[in-house]
Structure formats: C-alpha cells, structure tokens
Amino acid sequence: MFKIGILVSGGGSNLQAIIDRIEDGTLKDCQIVSVVSSNPEAYALERASKHGIPGLCIPRKGYADSKAYGEALAAHFDALQVDLIVLAGFLTILDAAFVEKYKGRMINVHPSLIPSFCGPGFYGLRPHIAALEYGVKVTGATVHYVDPEVDAGPIIAQKAVYVQEGDTPEVLQRRVMEEAEWKILPEAIGKISQAHIGG
Ligand code: GRF
C-alpha cells in the first residue's frame, strides 16, 4: 500500500475527491493513513471521520515557531511511514527544514495556472479575485511538488478552466474545483503512487 498523509485547514473538498477515487477503485493501492488539520474546526476532519480515516488537529499556535511545528508534523508522519504528503487546502506556511525533508514526497494543489495568481497571499478566493480583475479568459489549477518558495516547485499537472461572462469569485472557484482540482489532484496521486509501487 502507498501511504498518504494529508494536511488540511478547511472544507476538505479536495480531500473528499481523493477519498472518493480510492473508494471507487480509481486510485489503486493507496491508503490515507492520516488527515492532519491546522484548524480544530475544519470540516475536513469530519469528512475523514465519516470514512474511518484517522484525523487529528495539530494547531500552529501550539508551537513556539514554525521550526517546532514542522518537527511535530514530521514526527507524526515519520511514525506512520508515509510515502506522500498532500497539502489539500493547507493554509499554514511550512518551515524550510520540513519542506526539504519531504522534497519530492510532498505535493500541493493551487487554484490557478501557476505562475499566474500564486505566491504569498494567494489563498482562498484571492487567486480567483485576481484572475477576474486581470480579465483572463482562462484560468485553472495546478498540482506541483512543494519547494520552500510558496507555490513554486516542479509542476506535475495543470488543467485549464474557462472564465465565463458574469463570473463571481465564488462561482469561478467552484468551477475550478469541479473541473480541475478534484480531477488532477487524485490523478497526480495515482501517477506518483503507481511509479512508486512499480519502481
Ligand atoms: C482549494 O482551492 C485549493 O486549491 C487551495 O485551497 C482550497 C481548499 O479547498 N489550496 P478544500 O479545503 O479542499 O475544499
């Protein structure tokens, strides 16, 4: 089994997309061994528990600095011997040592076509607000390996989504999730896990 640890902070719809693809057999040989939230209120934790997946909250404010926080996360994931960490709407910036430790074994999903509308501050609705303000006709989502720089790192998958007349940031966010994020994130995990298992 390819063991996956998932970091979340909010609704967890990307987590749900991964759970659904495992349960319907599309994502083979994969197991989510832990869902860790930085936020005790995250609905993502409820999604995990509904599917019998161990979930816990490790809040950033419980630690003196981001180095100590990264060490706590690493201790947790190392104990479970995870093969891959997935950032699925995780809002806390991770310490460079943690990122370095999991280099090539940690991926993120971002709701724009990187290098547009990404980097520090581009979370939640902001990439979509910026895309509408700029007036782009095409946006989308990106899955990439995590590097110490925010939203940088080698790109694994991207999918384009058309902006439509009259879109609000909320409407565009929903379309980007449905048409892009919820598809390319499980697909990327499938590719990585099959390469890992096969090689
Ligand atoms: C998604 O748009 C994701 O790309 C971004 O944060 C959002 C998380 O949504 N990194 P959810 O918690 O998966 O519903």
Domain of 139 in residue numbering reads as 2-198
Residue 14 alpha carbon to ligand 1 centre in Å = 6
Which ligand 1 atom is the nearest neighbour of the CA of 127? 2
Mean pLDDT of 48-53: 98
Residues 133-172 have pLDDT tens digits of: 999 999 999 999 999 887 889 999 999 999 999 999 999 9
Q: What is the domain count for the chain?
A: 1
Which ligand 1 atom is the nearest neighbour of the CA of 44? 12
Mean pLDDT of 167-178: 98
Note the pTM of the prediction, 2 decimals: 0.96
Residues 83-142 have pLDDT tens digits of: 999 999 999 989 999 999 999 999 999 999 999 999 999 999 999 999 999 999 999 999
What pLDDT is recorded for position 57?
97
SS (H, E, C) the chain: CEEEEEEECCCCHHHHHHHHHHHCCCCCCEEEEEEEECCCCCHHHHHHHHCCCCEEECCHHHCCCHHHHHHHHHHHHHHCCCCEEEECCCCCCCCHHHHHHCCCCEEEEECCCCCCCCCCCCCCCHHHHHHHHHCCCEEEEEEEECCCCCCCCCEEEEEEEECCCCCCHHHHHHHHHHHHHHHHHHHHHHHHHHHHHHC
Confidence of residue 198 (pLDDT cuts 50, 70, 90): confident
CATH code of the domain in which 41 resides: 3.40.50.170
What pLDDT is recorded for position 2?
98
What pLDDT is recorded for position 149?
82
Percent of the chain exceeding pLDDT 90 equals 95
Mean pLDDT of 38-64: 97
Distance CA 35, CA 12 (A): 10
The answer, yes or no, to whether residue 199 has pLDDT greater than 70, is no
Average pLDDT, the chain: 96
* Ligand 1 binding residues, C-beta < 6 A: 8, 10-14, 44, 88-89, 109-111, 181
Residue 89 alpha carbon to ligand 1 centre in Å = 4
What pLDDT is recorded for position 68?
97
